[in-house]
């Protein structure tokens, strides 16, 4: 059986093989070259990568990775096909075109945009930069851990703050953790894996106060699943020159998880700094860039994909209710609920039935996170779940 490699390990290995230590800015080569433990094989939970590479086929329902199972739009697909004739060319011009298109939509200068092959390389870049002096990175517990786990490998200290009673990031407790040793505050909103979203006014006030002391990284990977993303985003904080970084990805509602396009919006100086840790324009393929150009802000497609996702979510809610289970109301494309058995055992039993899910342990309970799939996948989940519930 092939050895599985998680996403952040693959990204680090690819960066090093592509350019060696010369890839990194001055002073970082020694940081990268120092011995590091292998990234944990999921910290006692199964990753989507290991399941998909090592798990027993066939999988009837791929509900372990937060993807859009309805795929990219037809415009994106056609753009990729049309781009193949010139795919021998470096896509520099189209990269700049995409940067300008995003900048115009967000109301910022192109110098405030940094594109990459998905948001993962940008999270890695932030982890590397803000870990240089061994400072503290404040995050929620649980929350998305890509940046945090990478930062650990570069000797950052992690201050993981438990969630509130309603499973939201505890902004008050996180703010109290900020001190002279804090290097970064990481906020995932909506939060993964809980699917909860913060009160917008409270989050904006938090970012305005805290960013005067330390940078705040707001990961908005799932914001397109909200009814009015423009009202929730922290993009205005960037436009107000606050020390805020906002990450976005095409991997979710746009259906680009396999195409890999993402970006961060920040002050131009911060963009320059993070760009030293990434390959930027050279990391995204021409077809992926053309697909992003064709589908960016395609309101019709996004509305249709969102509608189908909401239908799958309601089906899952109804299934859980029928079996007498509670769940955390979700503002994203996944739902988390407490289990009545050990999480690993539940995951193993579900995968035997061809259904992939993820599990966590926190707040004294075992939890299952179900990514929302097509309706046939949700029905497969319901059949398997009913056998175990």
DSSP code of 270?
H
Confidence of residue 197 (pLDDT cuts 50, 70, 90): very high
Fold entry, domain 48-71+299-388: 3.90.1150
Confidence of residue 34 (pLDDT cuts 50, 70, 90): very low
DSSP code of 328?
B
pLDDT (tens digit per residue) in 53-73: 665 558 999 999 999 999 999
How big is the chain, counted in residues? 389
Confidence of residue 98 (pLDDT cuts 50, 70, 90): very high
Is the pLDDT at 229 greater than 70? The verdict is yes
Closest by CA to 295, choosing from 123, 309, 287, is 287
Name the architecture of domain 74-295: 3-Layer(aba) Sandwich (3.40)
Is the pLDDT at 51 greater than 60? The verdict is no
Q: Kindly compute the dihedral angle of the four CA atoms of residues 178, 243, 247, 81, in this order, to the nearest 10 degrees.
A: -160
Strands 334-338 and 365-371: antiparallel
Is the pLDDT at 170 greater than 50? The verdict is yes
| pLDDT value of position 22 | 35
Is the pLDDT at 85 greater than 90? The verdict is yes
pLDDT (tens digit per residue) in 123-142: 999 999 999 888 999 999 99
Distance CA 114, CA 109 (A): 11
Distances (CA, A) of 252 to 36, 51, 67, 71: 31, 20, 5, 10
Contact 60, 359 (CB under 8 A): no
Strands 358-362 and 355-356: unpaired
Confidence of residue 52 (pLDDT cuts 50, 70, 90): low
The arithmetic mean of pLDDT across residues 176-187, rounded, is 98
Could you write out the DSSP letters of every residue in 198-221?
--HHHHHHHHHHHTTTS-EEEE-T
pLDDT (tens digit per residue) in 334-377: 999 999 999 999 999 999 999 999 999 999 999 999 999 999 99
Distance CA 70, CA 72 (A): 7
Is the pLDDT at 25 greater than 50? The verdict is no
pLDDT (tens digit per residue) in 289-324: 999 999 999 999 999 999 999 999 999 999 999 999
Residue 31: how many other CB atoms lie within 10 Å:
15
- CATH 3.90.1150.10 occupies which residues in the chain? 48-71+299-388
Tokens of 212: 């005067």
| pLDDT value of position 58 | 81
First-to-last C-alpha distance (Å) of the chain: 32
Give the whole-number percent of the chain exceeding pLDDT 70. 85
Distance CA 332, CA 327 (A): 13
| pLDDT value of position 133 | 87
Q: Which of 54-63, 80-89, 225-234 has the lowest mean pLDDT?
A: 54-63
74 versus 39: which is more confidently predicted? Answer: 74
Contact 350, 357 (CB under 8 A): yes
| pLDDT value of position 54 | 62
Q: What are phi and psi of 68, to 5 degrees?
A: -95, 105
- CATH 3.40.640.10 occupies which residues in the chain? 74-295
Strands 182-188 and 136-141: parallel
Crossing angle of the two packed helices 7-19 and 120-130, in degrees rounded to 10:
80
Confidence of residue 282 (pLDDT cuts 50, 70, 90): confident
Crossing angle of the two packed helices 299-322 and 375-388, in degrees rounded to 10:
20
| pLDDT value of position 45 | 40
């Amino acid at each position: 059986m092939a050895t599985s490699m998680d996403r952040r390990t693959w990204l680090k290995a690819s960066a090093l093989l592509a350019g060696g230590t010369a890839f990194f800015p001055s002073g970082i080569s020694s940081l990268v070259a120092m011995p590091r433990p292998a990234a944990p094989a999921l910290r006692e939970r199964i990753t989507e990568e290991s399941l998909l590479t090592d798990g027993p086929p066939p999988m009837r329902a791929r509900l372990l990775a937060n993807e859009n199972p309805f795929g990219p739009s037809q415009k994106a697909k056609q753009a990729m096909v049309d781009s193949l004739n010139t795919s021998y060319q470096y896509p520099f011009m189209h990269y700049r075109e995409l940067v300008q298109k995003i900048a115009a939509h967000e109301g910022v200068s192109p110098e405030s945009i940094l594109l990459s092959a998905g948001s993962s390389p940008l999270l890695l870049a932030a982890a590397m930069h803000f870990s240089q002096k061994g400072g503290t990175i404040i995050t929620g517990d649980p929350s998305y851990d890509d940046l945090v786990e990478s930062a650990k490998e570069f000797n950052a200290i992690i201050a993981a703050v438990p969630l509130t009673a309603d499973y939201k990031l505890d902004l008050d407790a996180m703010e109290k953790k900020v001190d002279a040793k804090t290097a970064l505050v990481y906020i995932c909103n909506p939060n993964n894996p809980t699917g909860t979203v913060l009160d917008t006014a409270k989050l904006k006030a938090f970012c305005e106060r805290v960013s005067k002391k330390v940078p705040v990284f707001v990961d908005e990977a799932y914001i397109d699943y909200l009814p009015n993303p423009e009202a929730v985003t922290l993009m205005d904080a960037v436009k107000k020159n606050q020390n805020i970084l906002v990450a976005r990805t095409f991997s979710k509602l746009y259906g680009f998880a396999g195409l890999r396009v993402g970006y961060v919006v920040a002050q131009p100086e911060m963009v320059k700094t993070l760009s030293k840790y990434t390959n930027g324009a050279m990391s995204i393929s021409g077809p992926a860039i053309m697909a992003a150009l064709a589908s960016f802000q395609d309101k019709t497609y996004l509305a249709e994909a969102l509608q189908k996702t909401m239908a799958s979510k309601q089906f899952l809610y109804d299934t859980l209710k029928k079996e007498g289970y509670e769940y955390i109301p979700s503002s994203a494309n996944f739902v988390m609920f407490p289990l009545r058995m050990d999480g690993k055992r539940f995951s193993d039993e579900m995968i035997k039935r061809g259904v992939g899910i993820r599990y966590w342990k926190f707040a004294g309970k075992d939890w299952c996170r179900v990514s929302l799939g097509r309706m046939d996948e949700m029905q497969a989940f319901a059949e398997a779940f009913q056998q175990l519930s």
